Chains A and B, each alone.
Chain A
Amino acid sequence: MPTLEIDHLDKAYGPVRALRDMTFDVPSGEIFGFVGSNGAGKTTTMRIALGVLAPDSGQVRWDGRPVDLEVRRRIGYMPEERGLYPRMRVDEQLVYLARLHGKTPAEAKDAMERWTEILGVAHRRTDEVQKLSLGNQQRVQLAAALVHDPEILVLDEPFSGLDPVAVDVMSGVLRERAEAGVPVLFSSHQLDLVERLCDRVGIIKDGQMVAEGAIEELRSEGRLQWSVDGAPASAWAPSLSAGSGLRVVSSEGPRTVVELDGVSAAARTSTADDAAQAVLRAALAAGPVRSFTPVRHSLVELYRDVVSTPTEEPAA
């Protein structure tokens, strides 16, 4: 299976280092979510992958070969800055773009009809793009990325500005493409969506990949916490021994969250088990416990966690 490899990209705009050693892979059939705050380097990475920007160093490869113009013609791209000819008809525009990517006139027309149908803009085919609502322009923009049956999809914020129905349609399309073997790389600020849709996630900050992996993997790298529903924390927390590394993170009436310092959620060690039992015993000693569960972090929490941690400045 061919893989899209982003390999050690560096890019500086004057004094600003936009990308530092950006590295990750998107294998065929995988949906990779790219998250990070504004200006973190997502768009820069994608633009380099599409060759509209040159990296200072590093390389983007597909199937082991550097991405050149011939490969790029087989990438479906949705730029961050949406772009279509405002005064050109939807159908003509899509056919033109498909043909620029090497499709014959007949193939281009078929694909245009298919994708406008799937994306729900078939009834606007003969209208100029500028006459469409922003949501429909967005659908046409996605059609533009798909109309040449790309082997790779690179989509910058494909969900921004879409209504819930369109989000569902778009998610369905991305899943279906991934099942057909296309690697899908997309960026988004809608983390719940990323969590639902992606096989793997990369969180970037200040041009660096700070966390990367399947959502479950990332979760397990988060902090080890338990949520207790029972007597208020004040009644039992002081009894936890000072040297155990356990501390109360939050306490609201009967709900208390306790964290074990210095151990990640991945550590399925006896230390972790002992600590859990210590917490439960302390809580039970103070009264009945209605529930006791390890905390599962959402992507939003993981993201906040990762982004709020200061990145270490490289020495050189």
Chain B
Amino acid sequence: MSDQVIQNVIIPAAKVGLLLAVMGGLVAYLTLLERKILGFMQLRLAPRRVGPRGLLQPIADGIKLLIKEDVVPDGADRGLFLLAPILSIIPAFAALAVLPFASTPFELFGYEVTPYITDVNIGVLYVLSITSLGVYGIILGGWASNSKYSLLGALRSAAQMVSYEVPLGLSIIGVLMLAGTASMVGIVEAQRSSAWWFLVPQAVGLFCYFVSAVAETNRLPFDLPEAEAELVAGYQTEYAGMKFAFFMMAEYVNMIVVASIATTLWLGGWMRPFPNVEALAFLDWLNWAHPALSGLFWFSVKVLLILYIYIWLRGTFPRYRYDQLMRLGWKWLLPLSLANILITGLVLVWRNP
């Protein structure tokens, strides 16, 4: 086997496999984390019967969903019904391909391995396009189930995800203008000179992005497609067993993806706070092992923080109504993100005429 093959095929494939495995576990434990945090907010105990302190709960859930009967409702479009969960989970995982978890490459068996799968120069565009494919799974799932609740949920989510795609994309542009590149690694590197990364200059952009991202991932307060009080479970109403688990995993992987994007674009990715201050280099305390580990550490801390805010929102807020959601998207977030672009542009022109 030539070096070429190993470098370009074997190593990326191994990285993909590793990432899929790790993500599967992370998603499972994210559900547990969510239940735990919600439980503490609501003065409950949260799961703690399976394993020590409930730590094996996700595994028990997984086994339960695996061995459940695989129901396909009467009158459902069988092919689409089976296809929908797969369509919703593949884009979710595919978006992970360009996320830079850390930067410094490390040596493994004499080969140089980067701690992310790939870095393409249109990374941001790739993520945007791939994540917007996820809506097909939801629409097809809702349509194919032959249930009115599912259909209503699917229609809601189609409208919601298409509308919020716009402010989501526009809110990123400010960052792209500052960084001057669409490569994920390049964007992170561009934040090295500023103490608070792009968080301060692009705070409005982050706000718009965060709100749209919550809507994109169908989380409370924007979880209309699956509003359990109105539509039972929206597009997932008729799904059971592993197919339901796929939808569920897609939702949580999407959460991780949007949190990672926010981290990369605004929170300096793998960089420690104050990356421009040499005196604080001790914050990279994992450097003694490898700089990539330290990067991974900071990246995870930031992602976890954003995920925590996600769960916190869910624990606090009521749910928007459909028309109000649309109004918020088109009347507030869209102008706000456009204004952000305009002001960013003006500032850039003023600084470097």
A binds B: no
B-side residues, CB < 8 A to A, are none
A-side residues, CB < 8 A to B, are none
